[in-house]
Every structure is written in C-alpha cells, then in structure tokens.
Amino acid sequence: MIGAVFILVGAIFSVVSAIGNVRLPDVYTRSHAASKSSTLGVLSTLIGTLLYFLILDGFFSIRLILGIFFVFLTAPVAAHMICRSAYRHHVPLTESTVQDELKDYYMENENPDSEDEEQVERVEGSVKPLAVD
Amino acid sequence: MIFETLMIIALCLLVVAIMCNLYRIVKGPSSADRVQALDSVGINIIAGIAVFSVFLHTHAFFDLILLIGILSFIGTAAFAKFLERGVVIERKR
C-alpha cells in the first residue's frame, strides 16, 4: 500500500510539472519545472514500483535501481544542455527578467563566429601602430 | 480493488501531464521549448510504464524503463548539440 502512495505522489508531481511547463513565460523559467519537479515525480513513481514488488513478491529489481540512477543522473544534465543551447541560439528572455549576468561574460569572452575574431585582430593590428606614432 | 483504482487514477494524471506537454510542443515559440517538452514527455512515459507494470503485476517492462531513459537522454543531447552548433557530430579540421 505504501507503494501506491509513492506512485500517486509521483503522478501528482508530474501533473504539477506539466502545469508549470504550460504556464511559465520563458524557456529558462520553464526548465525549472521541466527538470526538477518532473525528475522528482518519476523518481517517486519508480521508488513506489520498487517497493511494491519488494513487499509483495520479495523481488528486488536491479534494473529498476539502474533506471532510477540513470534518470536521476541525466535529466538535469539534459535540461542544462537545452538551456545552454537556447542561450547561444539567442532565444529571447521574458520581459520581466531582472538581470542577465551571462550577457557581459558572453560578449567579452566568446564570439559567435570565427570570422569576427579575425576582424577584431585585424582592427587591433591596425590600431597599434597609430598608438605608437 | 482500491489498489487498481489508485493505479488508474495515477495513469490518468500522467496522461493529463503528457497532454499539457503536448500543448507546449505544438505551441512553443522556439525550438528549445519543444525539445524540452519532448524530454519531459519521455520522462512521463517512463513513469507511465512503471505504473502500468504495477497495474498488470509483471516484471517484463523493466528493461523498457532503462531503454527509454537512455534513448530520451541521447535524443535530447543530440537536439541540444544541433540547436547550438548546427551539426550533431563535429568534424575536426
């Protein structure tokens, strides 16, 4: 019966995550709903399944443990990769964003194309002799 | 009896969650939204398979949980690489 409680709690967490995925305004805010609470929901459901088969049959499934471990490991990594690719792809932030700390770092240290780097070097090379004169 | 009712309620909740994510897949303004919603749909399908194996009282679907987890992660990683760089596998020059 405790397995059923875990499974129901996990399903409710999945629904909450899906509602957040519909209602939030932005990719970066939606990734919170899509990664964290969804991972918690599926983890709770899988733990409920494991407890159900452990209590009723005495069957300890190592594959289910592997599945729990793998989902717990990879879902936040996938959300991070999507957010990074969205920022590099210039997906706009929502209008109520307060601050964007990555923007300065991105403008200083990384250039989107390699041709821009060459142009910057060429401009610096043409400026330096003038400064010496 | 009440146990099976609880499992059916959990399955219906998971279907509602997948429907909400499908709305985001159809409507999403950028393609990162769609990829993220697809990842969430994969995770919800894993939970649905677990609930269904409890409902049928069988061990046969546990391989499927691991398989769909791995495939969903690889697909999301490939989509993220494709959106970021324009190619999936980079060649060395």
Q: Check if the beta carbon of residue A54 is closer than 8 Å to that of residue A16.
A: no
CB of A23 within 8 Å of any CB in chain B? no
Distance of CA B16 to the CA centre of its chain: 13
CB A14 within 8 Å of CB B48? no
Chain B contact for A103, CB < 8 A?
A: no
B33 and A75 within 8 Å at the Cβ level: the answer is: no
| Interchain pair A78, B40: CB under 8 A | no
List of chain B residues whose C-beta atoms are within 8 Å of the C-beta of residue A12: 13
DSSP string, chain A: -HHHHHHHHHHHHHHHHHHHHHH-SSHHHHHHIIIIIHHHHHHHHHHHHHHHHHHHT----HHHHHHHHHHHHHHHHHHHHHHHHHHHTTPPPPTT----THHHHHHHH--SSHHHHHHHHHHHHHHHHHHH-
CB nearest A31 (choices: B6, B36, B59): B36
| Residue that the structure tokens 């697809």 belong to | B38
Which residue of B40, B44, B67, B73 to mutate against A (max A Cβ within 10 Å)? B40
Range scoring the smallest mean pLDDT among A32-41, A123-132, B37-46: A123-132
- Measured between beta carbons, the chain A residues lying within 8 angstroms of B53 are 49
Residue of A8, A59, A64 with shortest CB distance to B10: A8
Q: Which of A22, A74, A89 sits opposite B84 (nearest CB)?
A: A89
Instruction: Count how many residues are written for chain A.
Output: 133
Q: Do A38 and B44 touch (CB under 8 A)?
A: yes
pLDDT tens digits along B1-34: 888 899 999 999 999 999 999 999 998 788 888 9
Distance CA B65, CA B6 (A): 21
pLDDT digits (tens, 9 = 90+) for A57-99: 888 888 889 989 998 999 889 999 888 888 887 777 777 777 7
B54, B62 Cβ separation under 8 angstroms: no
- Distance to chain B for A21, nearest Cα, Å: 7
Say how far residue A91 (Cα) sits from the centre of its chain.
15
Q: What distance in Å separates the CA atoms of residue A87 and residue B59, rounded to the nearest whole number?
A: 42
pTM: 0.80
Reported ipTM: 0.86
Q: Give the per-residue pLDDT at B29.
A: 83
A94: closest chain B residue by CA? B29
Contact A71, A47 (CB under 8 A): no
